[in-house]
Structure 1
Protein backbone atom coordinates (compact mmCIF):
# COMPACT_ATOMS: atom_id res chain seq x y z
CA UNK A 1 0.00 0.00 0.00
CA UNK A 2 2.84 2.35 0.92
CA UNK A 3 4.61 1.60 -2.36
CA UNK A 4 1.43 2.26 -4.35
CA UNK A 5 0.89 5.58 -2.54
CA UNK A 6 4.50 6.60 -3.20
CA UNK A 7 4.14 5.77 -6.90
CA UNK A 8 0.89 7.76 -7.09
CA UNK A 9 2.54 10.78 -5.50
CA UNK A 10 5.52 10.42 -7.83
CA UNK A 11 3.21 10.43 -10.86
CA UNK A 12 1.50 13.47 -9.36
CA UNK A 13 4.82 15.32 -9.13
CA UNK A 14 5.80 14.55 -12.71
CA UNK A 15 2.34 15.43 -14.06
CA UNK A 16 2.30 18.68 -12.06
CA UNK A 17 5.61 19.63 -13.66
CA UNK A 18 4.20 18.90 -17.12
CA UNK A 19 1.10 21.02 -16.43
CA UNK A 20 3.15 23.98 -15.17
CA UNK A 21 5.51 23.73 -18.14
CA UNK A 22 2.57 23.57 -20.55
CA UNK A 23 1.07 26.80 -19.21
CA UNK A 24 4.56 28.29 -19.02
CA UNK A 25 5.10 27.63 -22.73
CA UNK A 26 2.21 29.96 -23.59
CA UNK A 27 3.42 32.56 -21.08
CA UNK A 28 6.95 32.42 -22.51
CA UNK A 29 5.61 32.76 -26.05
CA UNK A 30 3.73 35.90 -25.00
CA UNK A 31 6.81 37.40 -23.31
CA UNK A 32 9.04 36.76 -26.33
CA UNK A 33 6.40 38.20 -28.65
CA UNK A 34 6.56 41.41 -26.60
CA UNK A 35 10.26 41.77 -27.34
CA UNK A 36 12.25 39.84 -24.71
CA UNK A 37 15.05 37.72 -26.20
CA UNK A 38 14.84 33.94 -25.63
CA UNK A 39 18.21 33.66 -23.86
CA UNK A 40 17.34 36.57 -21.55
CA UNK A 41 14.02 34.92 -20.71
CA UNK A 42 15.78 31.64 -19.93
CA UNK A 43 18.21 33.48 -17.67
CA UNK A 44 15.32 35.22 -15.91
CA UNK A 45 13.51 31.89 -15.43
CA UNK A 46 16.47 30.27 -13.71
CA UNK A 47 17.51 33.38 -11.74
CA UNK A 48 14.01 34.13 -10.43
CA UNK A 49 13.47 30.50 -9.53
CA UNK A 50 16.64 30.28 -7.44
CA UNK A 51 15.64 32.30 -4.32
CA UNK A 52 12.70 30.03 -3.52
CA UNK A 53 14.73 26.87 -4.09
CA UNK A 54 17.61 28.12 -1.96
CA UNK A 55 15.22 29.16 0.80
CA UNK A 56 13.74 25.65 0.82
CA UNK A 57 17.22 24.12 0.73
CA UNK A 58 18.59 26.23 3.60
CA UNK A 59 15.45 25.76 5.67
CA UNK A 60 15.65 21.98 5.50
CA UNK A 61 19.44 22.00 5.99
CA UNK A 62 19.14 23.36 9.55
CA UNK A 63 17.22 20.42 11.11
CA UNK A 64 19.32 17.97 9.11
CA UNK A 65 22.51 19.54 10.46
CA UNK A 66 21.11 19.59 13.99
CA UNK A 67 20.41 15.88 13.69
CA UNK A 68 24.07 15.32 12.93
CA UNK A 69 23.54 14.48 9.26
CA UNK A 70 25.47 16.10 6.39
CA UNK A 71 23.86 14.55 3.32
CA UNK A 72 22.36 17.89 2.32
CA UNK A 73 25.72 19.72 2.28
CA UNK A 74 27.62 20.21 -0.97
CA UNK A 75 31.09 19.80 0.52
CA UNK A 76 30.19 16.37 1.89
CA UNK A 77 29.21 14.93 -1.50
CA UNK A 78 31.59 12.63 -3.42
CA UNK A 79 32.92 14.12 -6.64
CA UNK A 80 30.80 11.76 -8.76
CA UNK A 81 27.60 13.06 -7.18
CA UNK A 82 28.75 16.65 -7.61
CA UNK A 83 29.50 15.93 -11.26
CA UNK A 84 26.01 14.44 -11.71
CA UNK A 85 24.39 17.57 -10.24
CA UNK A 86 26.55 19.96 -12.28
CA UNK A 87 25.99 17.94 -15.46
CA UNK A 88 22.23 17.97 -14.92
CA UNK A 89 22.30 21.75 -14.48
CA UNK A 90 24.37 22.29 -17.62
CA UNK A 91 22.01 20.01 -19.55
CA UNK A 92 19.03 22.06 -18.30
CA UNK A 93 20.49 25.26 -19.71
CA UNK A 94 21.79 23.75 -22.96
CA UNK A 95 18.48 21.97 -23.61
CA UNK A 96 16.70 25.32 -23.72
CA UNK A 97 19.55 26.91 -25.70
CA UNK A 98 19.54 24.17 -28.34
CA UNK A 99 15.75 24.33 -28.68
CA UNK A 100 15.86 28.09 -29.24
CA UNK A 101 18.67 27.66 -31.77
CA UNK A 102 16.59 25.12 -33.69
CA UNK A 103 13.65 27.52 -33.73
CA UNK A 104 15.90 30.23 -35.18
CA UNK A 105 16.64 28.06 -38.21
CA UNK A 106 13.41 26.15 -38.90
CA UNK A 107 10.65 27.71 -36.82
CA UNK A 108 8.98 26.41 -33.68
CA UNK A 109 6.95 23.43 -34.93
CA UNK A 110 9.60 20.93 -36.01
CA UNK A 111 12.07 21.48 -33.13
CA UNK A 112 9.22 21.04 -30.66
CA UNK A 113 8.07 17.80 -32.29
CA UNK A 114 11.62 16.42 -32.36
CA UNK A 115 12.51 17.44 -28.80
CA UNK A 116 9.30 16.11 -27.28
CA UNK A 117 8.98 12.91 -29.30
CA UNK A 118 12.61 11.79 -29.42
CA UNK A 119 13.42 12.26 -25.74
CA UNK A 120 11.31 9.27 -24.53
CA UNK A 121 12.98 7.00 -27.09
CA UNK A 122 16.45 8.14 -26.08
CA UNK A 123 15.64 7.74 -22.38
CA UNK A 124 14.16 4.26 -22.90
CA UNK A 125 17.14 3.06 -24.95
CA UNK A 126 19.69 4.42 -22.47
CA UNK A 127 17.73 3.14 -19.45
CA UNK A 128 17.54 -0.39 -20.84
CA UNK A 129 21.14 -0.44 -22.10
CA UNK A 130 22.43 0.83 -18.73
CA UNK A 131 20.27 -1.60 -16.77
CA UNK A 132 18.12 1.07 -15.08
CA UNK A 133 14.95 -0.75 -16.22
CA UNK A 134 14.05 -3.94 -18.06
CA UNK A 135 12.88 -4.07 -21.65
CA UNK A 136 9.33 -5.39 -21.74
CA UNK A 137 6.27 -5.50 -23.94
CA UNK A 138 4.56 -3.03 -21.61
CA UNK A 139 7.43 -0.55 -21.97
CA UNK A 140 7.40 -0.78 -25.77
CA UNK A 141 3.59 -0.49 -25.94
CA UNK A 142 3.53 2.54 -23.63
CA UNK A 143 6.31 4.21 -25.60
CA UNK A 144 4.50 3.65 -28.91
CA UNK A 145 1.22 5.01 -27.50
CA UNK A 146 2.96 8.05 -26.00
CA UNK A 147 4.90 8.92 -29.14
CA UNK A 148 1.84 8.49 -31.34
CA UNK A 149 -0.29 10.56 -28.99
CA UNK A 150 2.09 13.46 -28.52
CA UNK A 151 2.84 13.47 -32.25
CA UNK A 152 -0.87 13.99 -32.99
CA UNK A 153 -1.06 16.74 -30.36
CA UNK A 154 1.87 18.84 -31.56
CA UNK A 155 1.84 18.12 -35.31
CA UNK A 156 0.40 21.10 -37.24
CA UNK A 157 -2.64 20.20 -39.31
CA UNK A 158 -1.02 21.78 -42.37
CA UNK A 159 2.08 19.62 -41.97
CA UNK A 160 5.71 20.59 -41.51
CA UNK A 161 7.77 22.49 -44.07
CA UNK A 162 11.56 22.27 -44.20
CA UNK A 163 13.23 25.65 -44.79
CA UNK A 164 16.60 26.22 -46.44
CA UNK A 165 18.76 25.64 -43.35
CA UNK A 166 16.79 22.67 -42.09
CA UNK A 167 19.85 20.42 -41.62
CA UNK A 168 21.37 22.79 -39.05
CA UNK A 169 17.98 23.28 -37.43
CA UNK A 170 17.46 19.53 -37.21
CA UNK A 171 20.89 19.10 -35.59
CA UNK A 172 20.04 21.64 -32.88
CA UNK A 173 16.62 20.02 -32.37
CA UNK A 174 18.06 16.54 -31.88
CA UNK A 175 20.65 18.04 -29.53
CA UNK A 176 17.77 19.49 -27.49
CA UNK A 177 16.11 16.06 -27.30
CA UNK A 178 19.36 14.45 -26.19
CA UNK A 179 20.01 17.08 -23.53
CA UNK A 180 16.47 16.78 -22.18
CA UNK A 181 17.09 13.06 -21.87
CA UNK A 182 20.21 13.82 -19.82
CA UNK A 183 18.11 15.99 -17.48
CA UNK A 184 15.59 13.16 -17.04
CA UNK A 185 18.23 10.50 -16.42
CA UNK A 186 20.22 12.82 -14.16
CA UNK A 187 17.21 13.34 -11.91
CA UNK A 188 16.25 9.67 -12.03
CA UNK A 189 19.76 8.60 -10.95
CA UNK A 190 20.18 11.28 -8.26
CA UNK A 191 21.28 9.61 -4.98
CA UNK A 192 18.44 9.11 -2.51
CA UNK A 193 20.40 10.73 0.33
CA UNK A 194 20.59 14.04 -1.60
CA UNK A 195 17.29 15.89 -1.00
CA UNK A 196 15.42 16.80 -4.18
CA UNK A 197 15.29 20.48 -3.22
CA UNK A 198 19.07 20.57 -2.64
CA UNK A 199 19.83 18.88 -5.95
CA UNK A 200 17.42 21.25 -7.73
CA UNK A 201 18.93 24.35 -6.09
CA UNK A 202 22.48 23.35 -6.97
CA UNK A 203 21.78 22.23 -10.54
CA UNK A 204 19.66 25.30 -11.27
CA UNK A 205 22.43 27.57 -9.98
CA UNK A 206 24.75 25.98 -12.54
CA UNK A 207 22.10 26.47 -15.24
CA UNK A 208 21.64 30.13 -14.29
CA UNK A 209 25.39 30.82 -14.44
CA UNK A 210 25.65 29.26 -17.88
CA UNK A 211 22.62 31.20 -19.14
CA UNK A 212 24.15 34.41 -17.73
CA UNK A 213 27.19 33.88 -19.95
CA UNK A 214 25.09 33.07 -23.02
CA UNK A 215 22.58 35.88 -22.52
CA UNK A 216 25.33 38.42 -21.84
CA UNK A 217 27.10 37.41 -25.04
CA UNK A 218 23.85 37.83 -26.99
CA UNK A 219 22.85 41.06 -25.22
CA UNK A 220 20.45 41.24 -22.29
CA UNK A 221 16.86 42.36 -22.87
CA UNK A 222 14.20 43.11 -20.26
CA UNK A 223 10.40 42.87 -19.94
CA UNK A 224 8.79 45.99 -21.36
CA UNK A 225 5.75 46.43 -19.12
CA UNK A 226 4.16 45.30 -15.86
CA UNK A 227 2.29 42.42 -17.49
CA UNK A 228 5.51 41.08 -19.00
CA UNK A 229 7.26 41.31 -15.62
CA UNK A 230 4.45 39.33 -13.98
CA UNK A 231 4.66 36.73 -16.75
CA UNK A 232 8.41 36.42 -16.31
CA UNK A 233 7.85 36.05 -12.56
CA UNK A 234 5.44 33.18 -13.25
CA UNK A 235 8.01 31.40 -15.42
CA UNK A 236 10.59 31.77 -12.67
CA UNK A 237 8.56 30.67 -9.65
CA UNK A 238 6.09 28.18 -11.11
CA UNK A 239 7.69 26.72 -14.25
CA UNK A 240 11.18 26.67 -12.75
CA UNK A 241 11.25 26.40 -8.94
CA UNK A 242 8.05 24.45 -8.34
CA UNK A 243 7.94 22.50 -11.60
CA UNK A 244 11.57 21.35 -11.55
CA UNK A 245 11.37 20.45 -7.86
CA UNK A 246 8.18 18.45 -8.42
CA UNK A 247 9.78 16.70 -11.39
CA UNK A 248 13.04 16.00 -9.55
CA UNK A 249 11.11 14.51 -6.61
CA UNK A 250 8.86 12.36 -8.79
CA UNK A 251 11.52 11.25 -11.28
CA UNK A 252 13.67 9.55 -8.66
CA UNK A 253 10.65 7.42 -7.61
CA UNK A 254 9.64 6.33 -11.12
CA UNK A 255 11.47 4.59 -13.93
CA UNK A 256 13.22 7.05 -16.29
CA UNK A 257 10.84 6.22 -19.15
CA UNK A 258 7.76 6.72 -16.96
CA UNK A 259 9.11 10.10 -15.81
CA UNK A 260 9.69 11.42 -19.31
CA UNK A 261 6.35 10.06 -20.58
CA UNK A 262 4.57 11.80 -17.69
CA UNK A 263 5.90 15.19 -18.75
CA UNK A 264 4.48 14.69 -22.24
CA UNK A 265 1.28 16.25 -20.88
CA UNK A 266 3.08 19.58 -21.47
CA UNK A 267 1.97 20.02 -25.11
CA UNK A 268 -1.52 18.77 -24.25
CA UNK A 269 -1.86 21.36 -21.48
CA UNK A 270 -0.54 24.06 -23.81
CA UNK A 271 -3.12 23.09 -26.44
CA UNK A 272 -5.97 23.07 -23.89
CA UNK A 273 -4.85 26.41 -22.44
CA UNK A 274 -4.70 27.91 -25.92
CA UNK A 275 -8.22 26.64 -26.57
CA UNK A 276 -9.51 28.22 -23.35
CA UNK A 277 -7.61 31.50 -23.47
CA UNK A 278 -7.16 32.24 -27.15
CA UNK A 279 -10.19 30.57 -28.74
CA UNK A 280 -8.03 27.97 -30.48
CA UNK A 281 -10.23 24.86 -30.14
CA UNK A 282 -8.70 21.41 -29.94
CA UNK A 283 -8.92 19.48 -33.19
CA UNK A 284 -10.08 15.89 -33.50
CA UNK A 285 -6.45 14.95 -34.17
CA UNK A 286 -5.36 16.50 -30.86
CA UNK A 287 -8.21 14.81 -29.00
CA UNK A 288 -7.14 11.43 -30.35
CA UNK A 289 -3.57 12.20 -29.34
CA UNK A 290 -4.69 13.03 -25.80
CA UNK A 291 -6.45 9.66 -25.50
CA UNK A 292 -3.34 7.80 -26.70
CA UNK A 293 -1.14 9.71 -24.28
CA UNK A 294 -3.49 8.94 -21.40
CA UNK A 295 -3.48 5.26 -22.37
CA UNK A 296 0.34 5.24 -22.30
CA UNK A 297 0.37 6.56 -18.74
CA UNK A 298 -2.20 3.98 -17.65
CA UNK A 299 -0.04 1.20 -19.12
CA UNK A 300 3.07 2.46 -17.31
CA UNK A 301 1.29 3.06 -13.99
CA UNK A 302 -0.59 -0.25 -13.97
CA UNK A 303 0.56 -2.54 -11.18
Structure 2
Protein backbone atom coordinates (compact mmCIF):
# COMPACT_ATOMS: atom_id res chain seq x y z
CA UNK A 1 0.00 0.00 0.00
CA UNK A 2 1.42 3.42 -1.00
CA UNK A 3 2.15 6.08 1.61
CA UNK A 4 -0.62 8.27 0.16
CA UNK A 5 -3.24 5.52 0.54
CA UNK A 6 -2.00 4.72 4.04
CA UNK A 7 -2.23 8.39 4.97
CA UNK A 8 -5.75 8.64 3.58
CA UNK A 9 -6.77 5.51 5.52
CA UNK A 10 -5.44 7.00 8.77
CA UNK A 11 -7.37 10.22 8.16
CA UNK A 12 -10.52 8.19 7.48
CA UNK A 13 -10.04 6.30 10.77
CA UNK A 14 -9.71 9.65 12.55
CA UNK A 15 -13.00 10.77 10.99
CA UNK A 16 -14.71 7.60 12.19
CA UNK A 17 -13.44 8.14 15.75
CA UNK A 18 -14.61 11.76 15.69
CA UNK A 19 -17.99 10.54 14.52
CA UNK A 20 -18.46 8.54 17.74
CA UNK A 21 -18.00 11.69 19.80
CA UNK A 22 -21.59 12.83 19.37
CA UNK A 23 -22.97 9.57 20.70
CA UNK A 24 -20.52 9.67 23.62
CA UNK A 25 -21.65 13.23 24.37
CA UNK A 26 -25.30 12.17 24.44
CA UNK A 27 -24.47 9.37 26.89
CA UNK A 28 -22.46 11.74 29.07
CA UNK A 29 -25.23 14.36 29.18
CA UNK A 30 -27.67 11.69 30.34
CA UNK A 31 -25.46 11.11 33.39
CA UNK A 32 -24.02 14.55 34.16
CA UNK A 33 -25.05 18.24 33.92
CA UNK A 34 -21.60 19.30 32.69
CA UNK A 35 -21.83 21.96 30.00
CA UNK A 36 -20.69 21.19 26.46
CA UNK A 37 -17.86 23.71 26.86
CA UNK A 38 -16.69 22.03 30.07
CA UNK A 39 -16.85 18.62 28.40
CA UNK A 40 -14.71 19.95 25.54
CA UNK A 41 -12.17 21.30 28.03
CA UNK A 42 -11.98 17.97 29.87
CA UNK A 43 -11.65 16.20 26.52
CA UNK A 44 -8.59 18.24 25.56
CA UNK A 45 -7.12 18.06 29.06
CA UNK A 46 -7.38 14.26 29.23
CA UNK A 47 -5.87 13.99 25.75
CA UNK A 48 -3.02 16.34 26.62
CA UNK A 49 -2.12 14.40 29.78
CA UNK A 50 -2.27 11.07 27.93
CA UNK A 51 -0.09 12.35 25.09
CA UNK A 52 2.47 13.83 27.49
CA UNK A 53 2.73 10.48 29.28
CA UNK A 54 3.02 8.66 25.94
CA UNK A 55 5.79 11.03 24.85
CA UNK A 56 7.74 10.28 28.04
CA UNK A 57 7.20 6.50 27.83
CA UNK A 58 8.17 6.39 24.15
CA UNK A 59 11.10 8.74 24.76
CA UNK A 60 9.85 11.32 22.31
CA UNK A 61 10.84 14.19 24.60
CA UNK A 62 13.75 15.33 22.39
CA UNK A 63 11.53 15.42 19.30
CA UNK A 64 8.86 17.32 21.19
CA UNK A 65 11.38 19.92 22.33
CA UNK A 66 12.84 20.11 18.83
CA UNK A 67 9.40 20.82 17.37
CA UNK A 68 8.70 23.54 19.94
CA UNK A 69 12.06 25.17 19.22
CA UNK A 70 11.66 24.95 15.44
CA UNK A 71 7.98 25.92 15.17
CA UNK A 72 6.80 27.38 18.49
CA UNK A 73 4.24 29.74 16.97
CA UNK A 74 2.81 27.30 14.44
CA UNK A 75 2.51 24.42 16.91
CA UNK A 76 0.71 26.53 19.49
CA UNK A 77 -1.49 28.07 16.77
CA UNK A 78 -2.59 24.58 15.64
CA UNK A 79 -3.62 23.76 19.20
CA UNK A 80 -5.45 27.03 19.79
CA UNK A 81 -7.11 26.67 16.40
CA UNK A 82 -8.31 23.19 17.31
CA UNK A 83 -9.81 24.48 20.56
CA UNK A 84 -11.30 27.48 18.78
CA UNK A 85 -13.13 25.62 16.02
CA UNK A 86 -14.58 23.16 18.53
CA UNK A 87 -15.93 26.06 20.61
CA UNK A 88 -17.22 27.86 17.51
CA UNK A 89 -18.96 24.70 16.30
CA UNK A 90 -20.72 24.12 19.62
CA UNK A 91 -21.71 27.79 19.69
CA UNK A 92 -23.17 27.45 16.21
CA UNK A 93 -25.13 24.35 17.24
CA UNK A 94 -26.76 26.16 20.15
CA UNK A 95 -27.63 29.30 18.16
CA UNK A 96 -28.47 27.97 14.68
CA UNK A 97 -29.12 24.25 15.11
CA UNK A 98 -27.25 21.06 14.26
CA UNK A 99 -27.92 21.05 10.51
CA UNK A 100 -26.73 24.59 9.77
CA UNK A 101 -23.67 24.22 12.01
CA UNK A 102 -22.62 20.91 10.44
CA UNK A 103 -23.29 21.74 6.80
CA UNK A 104 -21.69 25.19 6.85
CA UNK A 105 -18.67 24.45 9.06
CA UNK A 106 -17.77 21.04 7.63
CA UNK A 107 -18.81 22.02 4.11
CA UNK A 108 -16.85 25.25 3.90
CA UNK A 109 -13.51 23.77 5.00
CA UNK A 110 -12.96 21.31 2.09
CA UNK A 111 -13.94 23.97 -0.45
CA UNK A 112 -11.42 26.43 0.97
CA UNK A 113 -8.67 23.82 1.13
CA UNK A 114 -9.44 22.54 -2.37
CA UNK A 115 -8.89 26.05 -3.67
CA UNK A 116 -5.60 26.23 -1.73
CA UNK A 117 -4.50 22.89 -3.21
CA UNK A 118 -5.30 24.09 -6.73
CA UNK A 119 -3.37 27.32 -6.19
CA UNK A 120 -0.38 25.41 -4.81
CA UNK A 121 -0.48 23.06 -7.80
CA UNK A 122 -0.67 26.12 -10.07
CA UNK A 123 -3.38 24.75 -12.32
CA UNK A 124 -3.72 27.28 -15.11
CA UNK A 125 -6.26 25.32 -17.13
CA UNK A 126 -9.03 22.87 -16.41
CA UNK A 127 -7.56 19.37 -16.34
CA UNK A 128 -8.98 15.92 -15.71
CA UNK A 129 -7.67 16.16 -12.15
CA UNK A 130 -9.48 19.47 -11.67
CA UNK A 131 -12.75 18.03 -12.96
CA UNK A 132 -12.37 14.95 -10.76
CA UNK A 133 -11.75 17.17 -7.74
CA UNK A 134 -14.89 19.16 -8.56
CA UNK A 135 -16.92 15.93 -8.77
CA UNK A 136 -15.46 14.67 -5.48
CA UNK A 137 -16.29 17.95 -3.74
CA UNK A 138 -19.77 18.02 -5.24
CA UNK A 139 -20.55 14.48 -4.10
CA UNK A 140 -19.08 15.08 -0.64
CA UNK A 141 -20.94 18.32 -0.02
CA UNK A 142 -24.22 16.94 -1.36
CA UNK A 143 -23.87 13.93 0.89
CA UNK A 144 -23.04 16.15 3.85
CA UNK A 145 -26.22 18.18 3.32
CA UNK A 146 -28.38 15.04 3.10
CA UNK A 147 -26.82 13.34 6.16
CA UNK A 148 -26.96 16.49 8.25
CA UNK A 149 -30.56 17.19 7.27
CA UNK A 150 -31.55 13.62 8.11
CA UNK A 151 -29.74 13.54 11.47
CA UNK A 152 -30.85 17.04 12.44
CA UNK A 153 -34.48 16.80 11.36
CA UNK A 154 -35.65 16.21 14.90
CA UNK A 155 -33.36 18.75 16.53
CA UNK A 156 -34.47 22.15 17.72
CA UNK A 157 -33.55 25.11 15.54
CA UNK A 158 -31.51 27.78 17.27
CA UNK A 159 -33.07 31.10 18.27
CA UNK A 160 -30.30 33.21 16.69
CA UNK A 161 -29.76 31.75 13.21
CA UNK A 162 -27.72 34.69 11.86
CA UNK A 163 -25.27 34.55 14.77
CA UNK A 164 -25.11 30.77 14.42
CA UNK A 165 -24.41 31.04 10.70
CA UNK A 166 -21.55 33.48 11.31
CA UNK A 167 -20.12 31.17 13.98
CA UNK A 168 -20.34 28.22 11.56
CA UNK A 169 -18.54 30.19 8.84
CA UNK A 170 -15.84 31.15 11.34
CA UNK A 171 -15.58 27.51 12.44
CA UNK A 172 -15.11 26.31 8.85
CA UNK A 173 -12.44 28.94 8.20
CA UNK A 174 -10.53 28.16 11.40
CA UNK A 175 -10.81 24.41 10.73
CA UNK A 176 -9.40 24.84 7.23
CA UNK A 177 -6.61 27.16 8.39
CA UNK A 178 -5.66 24.86 11.27
CA UNK A 179 -5.51 21.82 9.00
CA UNK A 180 -3.42 23.69 6.42
CA UNK A 181 -1.09 25.01 9.11
CA UNK A 182 -0.64 21.55 10.62
CA UNK A 183 0.14 20.22 7.16
CA UNK A 184 2.88 22.80 6.60
CA UNK A 185 4.52 21.90 9.93
CA UNK A 186 4.51 18.19 9.08
CA UNK A 187 5.76 18.56 5.49
CA UNK A 188 8.30 21.36 5.97
CA UNK A 189 10.60 19.27 8.14
CA UNK A 190 11.00 15.85 9.68
CA UNK A 191 8.32 16.65 12.24
CA UNK A 192 6.97 13.91 14.47
CA UNK A 193 3.14 13.58 14.35
CA UNK A 194 3.07 12.53 18.02
CA UNK A 195 5.08 15.61 18.96
CA UNK A 196 2.75 17.92 17.01
CA UNK A 197 -0.35 16.26 18.46
CA UNK A 198 1.06 16.58 21.99
CA UNK A 199 2.10 20.22 21.68
CA UNK A 200 -1.10 21.24 19.88
CA UNK A 201 -3.40 19.42 22.30
CA UNK A 202 -1.59 20.83 25.34
CA UNK A 203 -1.81 24.36 23.93
CA UNK A 204 -5.48 23.83 23.14
CA UNK A 205 -6.20 22.61 26.66
CA UNK A 206 -4.37 25.57 28.21
CA UNK A 207 -6.46 27.91 26.05
CA UNK A 208 -9.83 26.19 26.47
CA UNK A 209 -9.88 25.26 30.18
CA UNK A 210 -9.94 28.89 31.44
CA UNK A 211 -12.74 29.72 28.99
CA UNK A 212 -14.77 26.75 30.26
CA UNK A 213 -14.23 27.81 33.88
CA UNK A 214 -15.43 31.33 33.10
CA UNK A 215 -18.49 29.80 31.43
CA UNK A 216 -19.70 28.52 34.79
CA UNK A 217 -20.30 25.20 36.51
CA UNK A 218 -20.86 22.52 37.39
CA UNK A 219 -17.17 21.82 37.02
CA UNK A 220 -16.89 18.21 38.22
CA UNK A 221 -18.85 14.97 38.21
CA UNK A 222 -18.64 11.78 40.27
CA UNK A 223 -20.84 9.65 38.03
CA UNK A 224 -18.79 6.61 36.88
CA UNK A 225 -20.43 6.48 33.44
CA UNK A 226 -19.74 10.17 32.89
CA UNK A 227 -16.13 9.77 34.00
CA UNK A 228 -15.64 6.79 31.72
CA UNK A 229 -17.17 8.68 28.81
CA UNK A 230 -14.91 11.67 29.44
CA UNK A 231 -11.97 9.28 29.35
CA UNK A 232 -13.16 7.83 26.04
CA UNK A 233 -13.65 11.30 24.54
CA UNK A 234 -10.16 12.40 25.56
CA UNK A 235 -8.25 9.22 24.77
CA UNK A 236 -9.96 8.01 21.60
CA UNK A 237 -11.77 10.92 19.94
CA UNK A 238 -8.98 13.39 20.74
CA UNK A 239 -5.56 11.88 21.48
CA UNK A 240 -5.77 8.84 19.18
CA UNK A 241 -7.90 10.51 16.49
CA UNK A 242 -5.66 13.55 16.13
CA UNK A 243 -2.58 11.35 16.25
CA UNK A 244 -3.96 9.38 13.30
CA UNK A 245 -5.03 12.58 11.54
CA UNK A 246 -1.63 14.29 11.75
CA UNK A 247 0.18 11.07 10.84
CA UNK A 248 -2.01 10.73 7.75
CA UNK A 249 -1.65 14.42 6.94
CA UNK A 250 2.07 13.92 6.29
CA UNK A 251 1.31 12.13 3.02
CA UNK A 252 -2.21 13.43 2.26
CA UNK A 253 -3.10 16.84 0.84
CA UNK A 254 -4.94 18.98 3.38
CA UNK A 255 -7.95 19.37 1.08
CA UNK A 256 -8.27 15.64 0.54
CA UNK A 257 -7.82 15.05 4.27
CA UNK A 258 -10.73 17.33 5.18
CA UNK A 259 -12.99 15.64 2.62
CA UNK A 260 -12.03 12.29 4.15
CA UNK A 261 -13.02 13.51 7.60
CA UNK A 262 -16.59 13.89 6.33
CA UNK A 263 -16.84 10.27 7.44
CA UNK A 264 -17.48 11.89 10.84
CA UNK A 265 -21.15 12.80 10.19
CA UNK A 266 -21.71 9.44 8.46
CA UNK A 267 -20.36 7.59 11.51
CA UNK A 268 -22.43 9.78 13.84
CA UNK A 269 -25.62 9.11 11.88
CA UNK A 270 -25.03 5.35 11.71
CA UNK A 271 -24.10 5.18 15.42
CA UNK A 272 -27.26 7.08 16.35
CA UNK A 273 -29.34 4.72 14.22
CA UNK A 274 -27.78 1.57 15.71
CA UNK A 275 -27.44 2.60 19.37
CA UNK A 276 -30.16 5.19 19.88
CA UNK A 277 -32.67 3.78 17.42
CA UNK A 278 -32.81 6.98 15.35
CA UNK A 279 -33.95 6.39 11.79
CA UNK A 280 -31.39 7.33 9.19
CA UNK A 281 -33.98 7.60 6.43
CA UNK A 282 -33.57 7.50 2.66
CA UNK A 283 -31.89 10.91 2.53
CA UNK A 284 -29.36 9.86 5.15
CA UNK A 285 -28.57 6.63 3.33
CA UNK A 286 -28.12 8.42 -0.01
CA UNK A 287 -25.98 11.08 1.65
CA UNK A 288 -23.79 8.46 3.33
CA UNK A 289 -23.26 6.68 0.02
CA UNK A 290 -22.32 9.97 -1.66
CA UNK A 291 -19.74 10.77 1.02
CA UNK A 292 -18.26 7.28 0.90
CA UNK A 293 -18.07 7.52 -2.89
CA UNK A 294 -16.32 10.88 -2.63
CA UNK A 295 -13.79 9.52 -0.13
CA UNK A 296 -13.13 6.55 -2.43
CA UNK A 297 -12.63 9.01 -5.29
CA UNK A 298 -9.83 10.70 -3.35
CA UNK A 299 -7.70 7.61 -3.93
CA UNK A 300 -7.78 8.19 -7.71
CA UNK A 301 -4.76 9.83 -9.32
CA UNK A 302 -5.08 13.59 -9.49
CA UNK A 303 -7.96 13.78 -7.01
TM-score by length of 2: 0.88
Aligned ranges for residues 69-88 of structure 1 at < 5 Å? 71-74=63-66, 77-78=69-70, 81-88=71-78
Aligned counterpart, 2:287? 289
Q: Would you say 1:25 and 2:22 are equivalent positions?
A: yes
- Check conservation: 1:110, 1:160, Cα contact below 8 A: no
Query: Separation in 2 of the partners of 1:82 and 1:272?
Result: 39
Secondary structure of residue in 1 paired with 2:242: helix
The structure 2 residue matched to 1:94, chosen from 84, 98, 102, is 84
The structure 2 residue matched to 1:172, chosen from 160, 167, 175, is 167
- Check conservation: 1:22, 1:266, Cα contact below 8 A: yes
Query: Separation in 2 of the partners of 1:116 and 1:75?
Result: 29
- Check conservation: 2:96, 2:162, Cα contact below 8 A: no
Q: Count matched residues.
A: 291
How many angstroms does 1:101 deviate by? 1.5
Query: Separation in 1 of the partners of 2:277 and 2:155?
Result: 23
Q: Would you say 1:8 and 2:2 are equivalent positions?
A: no
The structure 2 residue matched to 1:188, chosen from 180, 183, 191, is 183
Q: Would you say 1:146 and 2:137 are equivalent positions?
A: no
Aligned ranges for residues 271-290 of structure 1 at < 5 Å? 271-290=269-288
| Stretch moving more, 134-143 or 37-46 | 134-143
CA deviation profile, 1:141-169 (whole Å, cap 9, x unmatched): 11111111111111147599865522111
- Check conservation: 1:187, 1:252, Cα contact below 8 A: no
Gaps of 5+ in 2: 124-128
Query: Separation in 1 of the partners of 2:293 and 2:67?
Result: 44
How many angstroms does 1:32 deviate by? 3.4
Gaps of 5+ in 1: none
- Check conservation: 1:35, 1:224, Cα contact below 8 A: no
Runs of at least 4 residues off by over 4 Å: 132-135, 157-164
How many angstroms does 1:298 deviate by? 2.0
Aligned counterpart, 1:108? 98
Q: CA RMSD in A?
A: 2.3
Query: Separation in 2 of the partners of 1:124 and 1:75?
Result: 27
How many angstroms does 1:132 deviate by? 5.8
Query: Separation in 2 of the partners of 1:234 and 1:76?
Result: 28
- Check conservation: 2:194, 2:243, Cα contact below 8 A: yes
How many angstroms does 1:187 deviate by? 2.3
Secondary structure of residue in 2 paired with 1:297: helix
Aligned counterpart, 1:208? 205
TM-score by length of 1: 0.88
Secondary structure of residue in 2 paired with 1:302: coil
Secondary structure of residue in 1 paired with 2:252: coil
Query: Separation in 2 of the partners of 1:234 and 1:256?
Result: 27
Aligned counterpart, 2:126? none
Secondary structure of residue in 1 paired with 2:278: coil
How many angstroms does 1:242 deviate by? 0.3
